[in-house]
């Protein structure tokens, strides 16, 4: 893709392949363009930076938010911060000054972090899509594959690979003097000609946009078939558990069936939220990706100032809107955001909410001493009554669970 921080003159210079030659009369941006672009870019980037910083803080500082899915969302927030700061903020100075003001080192560094953020965000969207597919469509395998430690290793691998891949932009970027009849302007452009640049762009376009969206379409289709078309299968270990822990007595309010329905509703809600993130990513990147693809086959590139601004604003909005989606669609994130901002009354955190059937299943999984971190990705927002509201017919069964195990569950399973 073309550098998101380049002005129109730089884009045209890069497209035509001419360097350091007279380009006619230089004209500055109009006053209306400066006002609109500076205001909208500042607003979107400001909101996005604050929102993504909050996502990082709530996941790092809140114990029950440290789940595999949320670790991917934390890394996505870090990548979005790179895009907003490396691609968004330099456009403000470009609109005000009409040229590159960060020098040669700034050109290399900003271009590198710009592409690193863009490519890493695409990889993390793919990562949590695969994680959701395994957790829902292959629940047995997810107990070993969708763990917190494995998620951390995948995140480190993604950052390492994308960091190495983007090193090439340090050798492809350079500052360029644009000589006009009435002015000389400095820009941050590419060293390679258009014929050499297009294969690099189409590789990026395929690997970090087309393939992730194709994979997400297939996997979310399979997920939807499980969650929305077929009933959620019962826990495979429930059949081996104590029968008194599956059903309550007559008039009981908490049963294994209600736990399954609550878990299914929670899974649907989490999956919907992540699917919305993927859809927004596809839609907001589409104008810019389409523009560059079309310009690749035109003799004279289409470089309308206002349309370029629209394309760039869509990209910045994609990096800024994810925290808003989390707040709107996740009770966990909404509560964590409020706690971080100290908005509203502070409430004492309640113990974990789970039925006896679910408790028995978790005990089986924790018998080897490991924390069941994959459960925290599934029972995302359960709000069933705690043990003190259980009917008397269930309490005898609950008493057979050691106190130490209940303490462990309260620490590891609560949402």
Instruction: Give the pLDDT confidence of 280-310 residue by residue, as tens digits.
Output: 999 999 999 999 888 888 888 888 999 999 9
Digit-coded pLDDT (tens) for 24-35:
888 888 999 999
Averaged pLDDT, 259-282: 83
CATH numbers and ranges of domains, the chain = 8-234+261-341 (1.20.1070.10)
pLDDT average, residue stretch 266-276: 86
Region at 103 (left for phi over 0; alpha for psi -120 to 50; beta for the rest): left
Q: Is 186 helix (H, G, I), strand (E, B) or coil?
A: strand
Mean pLDDT (the chain) is 77
Say how far apart CA 29 and CA 332 lie, in whole Å.
45
Query: For residue 343, what pLDDT band results from cuts at 50, 70 and 90?
Result: low
Which of the given ranges, 77-81, 146-150, 204-208, has the highest pLDDT on average? 77-81
Instruction: Report the DSSP pairing between strands 173-179 and 184-190.
Output: antiparallel
Q: Which residues contact 348 (CB under 8 A, 6 or more apart)?
A: none
């Amino acid at each position: 893709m073309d550098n998101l921080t380049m002005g129109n003159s730089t884009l045209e210079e890069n497209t035509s392949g001419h360097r350091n030659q007279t380009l006619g009369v230089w004209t500055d941006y109009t006053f209306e363009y400066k006002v609109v672009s500076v205001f909208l870019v500042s607003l979107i980037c400001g909101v996005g930076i604050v929102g993504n910083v909050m996502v990082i803080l709530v996941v790092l500082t809140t114990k029950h938010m440290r789940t595999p899915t949320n670790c991917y969302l934390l890394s996505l927030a870090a990548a979005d911060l790179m895009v907003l700061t490396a691609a968004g903020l330099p456009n403000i100075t470009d609109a005000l000054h009409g040229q590159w003001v960060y020098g040669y080192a700034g050109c290399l560094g900003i271009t590198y972090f710009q592409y690193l953020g863009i490519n890493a965000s695409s990889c993390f969207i793919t990562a949590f899509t695969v994680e959701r597919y395994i957790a829902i469509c292959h629940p047995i395998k997810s107990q070993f594959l969708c763990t917190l430690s494995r998620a951390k290793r995948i995140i480190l691998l993604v950052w390492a690979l994308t960091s190495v891949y983007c090193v090439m932009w340090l050798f492809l970027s350079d500052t360029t003097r644009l000589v006009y009849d009435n002015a000389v302007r400095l820009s941050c452009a590419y060293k390679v000609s258009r014929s050499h640049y297009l294969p690099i762009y189409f590789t990026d376009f395929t690997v970090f946009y087309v393939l992730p969206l194709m994979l997400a379409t297939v996997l979310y289709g399979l997920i939807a078939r499980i969650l929305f078309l077929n009933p959620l299968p019962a826990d495979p270990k429930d059949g081996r558990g104590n029968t008194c822990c599956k059903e309550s007595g007559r008039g009981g309010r908490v049963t294994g069936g209600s736990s399954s329905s609550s878990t299914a509703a929670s899974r649907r809600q989490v999956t919907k939220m992540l699917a919305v993130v993927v859809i927004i990513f596809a839609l907001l990147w589409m104008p810019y990706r389409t523009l560059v693809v079309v310009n690749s086959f035109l003799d004279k590139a289409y470089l309308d100032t206002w349309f370029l601004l629209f394309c760039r604003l869509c990209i910045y909005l994609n990096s800024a809107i994810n925290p808003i989606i989390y707040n709107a669609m996740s009770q966990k994130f909404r509560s964590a955001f409020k706690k971080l901002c100290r908005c509203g009354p502070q409430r004492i955190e309640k113990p974990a909410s789970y039925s006896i059937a679910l408790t028995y299943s978790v005990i089986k999984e924790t018998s080897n001493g490991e924390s069941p971190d994959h459960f925290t990705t599934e029972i995302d927002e359960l709000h069933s009554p705690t043990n003190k509201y259980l009917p008397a017919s269930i309490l005898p069964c609950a008493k057979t669970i050691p106190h130490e195990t209940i303490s462990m569950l309260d620490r590891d399973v609560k949402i």
